[in-house]
Amino acid sequence: MLLRVGSRGSRLALAQAELAAERLREPGVQVALVPITTIGDRDRSRPFGEIGARGVFVKEIEEALLDGRIDVAVHSAKDMTSSDTAGLAVGAYLARDDARDALCGAHELRPGMRVGTASVRRRAQLLVLEPGLAVEPLRGNVETRLRKRRERGLDAVVLAACGLDRLGLGGEIGLRFAPGDVLPEAGQGAVALQVRAGEEEVVATADDAETRRRVEAERACVAQIGGGCLAPVAAHHDGETLTALVADEDGRWVERRSGDDPLAVAAELAAALARA
C-alpha cells in the first residue's frame, strides 16, 4: 500500500510531514511525500489580510486531497480554518510540541524595540505587554524571517517555538513567552493529518488523544467567536483549562476568558467584543 502524503514544500513543512510519515510507515505501507505550493507560499509580500482569510496555507493541499491526488494532508494545525472543510476530516493529531511563541534576537521586550511579525494576534499582545514597541510586518518561512531580522536591523522577531525546535534552531530563541503573556494561536504546536471523510482509519494509529482533546476545544472556541487571520483571536488549552482572547490589533484593549466549555468561553468573549 502506498500513501501519498501532501504538504507544503518549506523545510519546516517537510520536516513535519516526515514526522507524520514516521508514524504512518508500517509493514506493507510505504509513504511518498508530495510537496504542494499554496497561495500563501506564492505571495510572500502582501499581508495575510490582503491575500484572503485563514487557510491560505492549506487550500491547495485540501483540493489535492479532495481530488484524489494525495491520500493524506499534513498541516500545521494553526494554519487550518477553525471548522472542517466539507468532505474532509482530521484523522489524527500528532503529539503536540511546545505551543508557545518565541522571541528571537532578544531576551526581553523593551520600549522602542523594532519587532517583526505578520500576525495580528502577536502584534496585539506584544503591544499590550509593551506599548512602546514598533511592530513591523514580516513574512516568509522561518529561515527567511530570521535572515530578514538581521538584514533589516530589527531588534527581534516572534515565531512559533515549535517550528524553531523542529528545525534545530532552538538556540535562536531568547524568550519563550508564557501563555499568560502571549496566548498562542489555536492549534499551535500540533500537526494535523487530514483525510477524506470516512477514511479516518488510514491515519488513526498516529492520533494522540490528549492533543486532539485540547486542539479541538481551541478550534471550536475560535469557530464560535468567528475569528481568523484578520482578527486578533487566540485560544489555548493547557490540559486543565481553556483560555481564549479577543483584542484590538493595536493593543488598546484585550479581553480574556477561561473555562471548561469552549462554546461558553466563546459566548463570553463575543459579548465582551460587542461591548468594546
Interval 80-133: pLDDT, tens: 977 889 999 999 999 999 999 999 999 999 999 999 998 999 999 999 999 999
* Helical segments of the chain, H only: 11-24, 39-42, 48-51, 59-66, 120-129, 142-152, 161-166, 209-225, 262-275
Quote the domain boundaries for residue 166: 101-176
The verdict on residue 236 lying in a domain is no
The verdict on residue 195 lying in a domain is no
Whether 182 shows a pLDDT value over 80: the answer reads yes
Catalytic residue among 41, 43, 71, 79: 79
High-pLDDT (> 70) share of the chain, %:
92
Domain count, the chain: 1
The verdict on residue 18 lying in a domain is no
Q: Indicate the length of the chain as a whole number.
A: 276
Residue 79 is among the residues annotated as catalytic for this protein? yes
High-pLDDT (> 90) share of the chain, %:
80
The verdict on residue 116 lying in a domain is yes
pLDDT at 245: 95
Query: What's this model's pTM, rounded to 2 decimal places?
Result: 0.90
Q: Which of 221, 254, 225 is nearest to 125 (CA)?
A: 254
As a whole number of angstroms, the distance between CA 251 and CA 254 comes to 7
As a whole number of angstroms, the distance between CA 130 and CA 52 comes to 29
pLDDT at 250: 92
Cα-trace Rg, the chain: 18
Look at residue 134 and give its three-state secondary structure.
strand
As a whole number of angstroms, the distance between CA 148 and CA 48 comes to 18
Residue 274 Rama label (left phi>0; alpha psi -120 to 50; beta): alpha
The verdict on residue 27 lying in a domain is no
The verdict on residue 164 lying in a domain is yes
**Mean pLDDT taken over the chain:** 91
Residue 104: exposed, middle, or buried by beta-carbon count in 10 A (0-12, 13-18, 19+)? buried
Lowest mean pLDDT among 50-54, 185-189, 256-260, 271-275: 50-54
- Average pLDDT of the residues in 206-229: 89
The verdict on residue 118 lying in a domain is yes
- Among all chains, which residue has been given the C-alpha cell 491575500? 51
Q: Which of 13, 57, 8 is nearest to 163 (CA)?
A: 13
The verdict on residue 81 lying in a domain is no
Residue 17's Cβ-side half-sphere holds a number of Cα atoms within 13 Å equal to 24
As a whole number of angstroms, the distance between CA 80 and CA 57 comes to 8
Query: Amino acid identity, residue 156?
Result: A
Whether 227 shows a pLDDT value over 60: the answer reads no
pLDDT at 45: 53
pLDDT at 228: 45
219, 90 contact by CB (below 8 A): no
Whether 50 shows a pLDDT value over 50: the answer reads no
Residue 121 maps to which CATH number? Answer: 3.40.190.10
- Average pLDDT of the residues in 33-54: 62
235, 270 contact by CB (below 8 A): no
